[in-house]
Chains A and B, each alone.
Chain A
């Protein structure tokens, strides 16, 4: 038990936060913001495996999020599927797609990889925007309510607990993955890819694996998003949204699962807080992004954690 507590300290902190947050919630709008923050956090926890641990960038992850959302919307509405089946189909489809594209493009490095992932995202978003008979075009479409074993999630409160649970599960999965042999191989890969290859690690294999996993995380969150909002339009998988996900990951802290969650929460809450001074919103947002990266290039959580540790040690 103690070992579990030690190993999953972050998970326990997060669980406590999720349990306590509703005390400060006054209405459904607050729940709505928290739910969206939680959904973003699931995407970012997955994306951070790719960026923080495998050292690969993706400027196209919103596309996987969007594909998951559209899979759920189309399959439940047009074809009358059960929402869980639609979600599963979306995750499987996105996984296969990610696998197919990952092999060739993960050979690319740095900005070239950024370009390739960005390109894939743009292509997918154009297809969804154009094939209006299936997707509803620029105005999008809506999804049926989400239900599990006969319980339909309608109230914001029930959604909060659902997303909170899903977020905890995602964090638990990601933590386990990092502490597994795969995680160790990944870290070797981030440090020095050539070195890793020399000592016999099949680097491409691991990169592809982690790319697929992070894409499936995004698809999962996208499905939930589609049922919750419940309107799905091409704007949720644009280039800007992809950038937002990366910003959340880097802002909170690369290679930090808890950092991903913190980054996602802050960057989701911030625009809502700034909404009342909308003329200055982009200026403040831009300044915060620049400031954090200049003064805390490792991101919020790792920098603060380091400071705390230094204080603890005499």
Chain B
């Protein structure tokens, strides 16, 4: 009798255990990321990683997505495309991720596309290069503005000021090179003539030689620099040192306070295209982006005690769009999630308002960019 009781007890316990097991065994949503956390683009990759980790952690504390925990796997590709390709394989094959966010640079994203496309895994890139989404690839999306849009925004501003002869100086690495090529491509559309074209290496301690050449080129009305990291700050300082008076434009690659801090006074008067996040407090109260970017800025800066950058915003947007798509799809089925990402419409993010379509896997337009000018060590919205 006693034995029977024990058996019954065990059976009940077993059932309870099995129940709790199934409840717990709701498979987690697996998100994979490969980012340039070290290397020349760590400037971008580091805040991206921090953002993903912070928000995944926070969501898990709130119970995850549809009762499922989120499992985030981040690998550091150091900005090297061949490593990115290996990590993409690892995420898909070994970690069985449902979706991949990442690819800090265009080079690493392009290498990963070769892996995700045949494997059929949704992939949201955080890099700027237009080649990522043009031509449209079935499984590939991206959150940041393209380098072509940055060039267009700058040229439109120059056109407004009646400046047509521009000297281009760019970094001879991925970001700068791609921006340089896109600038040459669209300059004509805005009646801009590129009269000088110089490059520098990402770690050059001094670029006065290149800038002297630009200074001596007759007719230069403005200088446009495409690069990120320390290079643009050195260009800015050297421009001031040489007493060059023509206006200096930078790309969206330097839209972080670090750039102002490194360049000091020399940054005064520099203009650049930037997303709403950078000038959150200056946005009009009616701007639909205002609440989103203000909240993100506050949360990020409270958590990490450092200035938020647009790159952190790219990762935030990528994660939000991915999670929204998973919720709409009602599962993490890769094909369904892909379809839902493509249907993203009117998502208000840190980079702008995103409306994707089968022919547009980025869904941003030029209105997402603001032209800002640096004045007294801070951003000032121009338009």
Contacts and interface: CB of A to CB of B under 8 A. Distances in A.
Given A138-B174, A139-B178, A229-B82, A27 B93 contact: yes
Contacts of A29: 86, 89-90, 92-94
B85 A129 contact: no
B13 to A, nearest CB: 34
Contact of A30 (B37, B94, B129, B131): B94
Interface stretch (B105-113, B216-224, B369-377): B105-113
A27 B94 contact: yes
Contact of A229 (B75, B85, B173): B85
Place the interface of chain B in its size category.
Answer: 20 to 34
B76 A230 contact: no
Contacts of A36: 86
B32 to A, nearest CB: 12
Interface string A99-136: 00000000000000000000000000000011010000
Place the interface of chain A in its size category.
Answer: 20 to 34
Given A30-B94, A139-B178, A278-B37, A231 B89 contact: no
A140 interface: yes
Nearest to B78: A235
B114 interface: yes
Interface in A223-241: 225, 229-231, 233, 235-236
A231 B114 contact: yes
A28 B85 CA distance: 12
A235 B80 contact: yes
Say what secondary structure dominates the interface of chain B: helix
B49 to A, nearest CB: 9
Interface string B139-150: 000000000000
A137 B37 CA distance: 23
A142 interface: yes
A214 to B, nearest CB: 22
B177 interface: yes
Interface in B69-126: 74-76, 79-82, 85-87, 89-90, 92-94, 106-107, 110-111, 114
B172 interface: yes
A33 interface: yes
A193 interface: no
Contacts of B181: 132
A138 B147 CA distance: 15
Q: Which of A26, A28, A33, A139 has the most CB of B within 10 A?
A: A139
Contact of A140 (B92, B107, B172): B107
Contacts of B75: 275, 278
A272 B75 CA distance: 10
Contacts of A278: 37-38, 74-76
Contact of A235 (B74, B82, B90, B110): B82
A292 B116 CA distance: 38
Interface string B34-77: 00011000000000000000000000000000000000001110
Interface string A136-174: 011110100000000000000000000000000000000
Given A235-B80, A278-B75, A278-B76, A139 B177 contact: yes
Interface in A70-106: none
B304 to A, nearest CB: 15
A137 B177 contact: yes
A78 B76 CA distance: 32
B106 A32 contact: no
Given A27-B94, A229-B82, A231-B81, A129 B172 contact: yes
Contacts of B114: 142, 229-231
Contacts of A30: 93-94
B86 A32 contact: yes
A45 B129 CA distance: 38
Contact of A139 (B87, B172, B174): B174
B171 to A, nearest CB: 9
Nearest to A281: B76
Given A28-B93, A132-B177, A139-B178, A235 B172 contact: no
Interface in A289-311: none
Interface string A269-291: 00010010010011000000000
A212 to B, nearest CB: 26
Contacts of B177: 132, 137-139
Q: Which of B82, B93, B110, B181 has the most CB of A within 10 A?
A: B82
A225 B85 CA distance: 12
A32 to B, nearest CB: 5
A132 B170 CA distance: 14
A28 B95 CA distance: 12
A288 B153 CA distance: 50
Please name the 3 residue pairs, one residue from A and one from B, whose CB atoms are nearest each other, closest first.
Answer: A29-B93, A27-B93, A231-B111
Given A129-B172, A275-B90, 10 more contacts: A29-B86, A30-B94, A33-B86, A138-B177, A139-B129, A139-B131, A139-B177, A225-B82, A229-B85, A275-B75
Interface of B: 37-38, 74-76, 79-82, 85-87, 89-90, 92-94, 106-107, 110-111, 114, 129, 131, 172-174, 177-178, 181
8 contacts: A132-B177, A138-B172, A138-B174, A139-B178, A229-B114, A235-B80, A235-B107, A278-B38
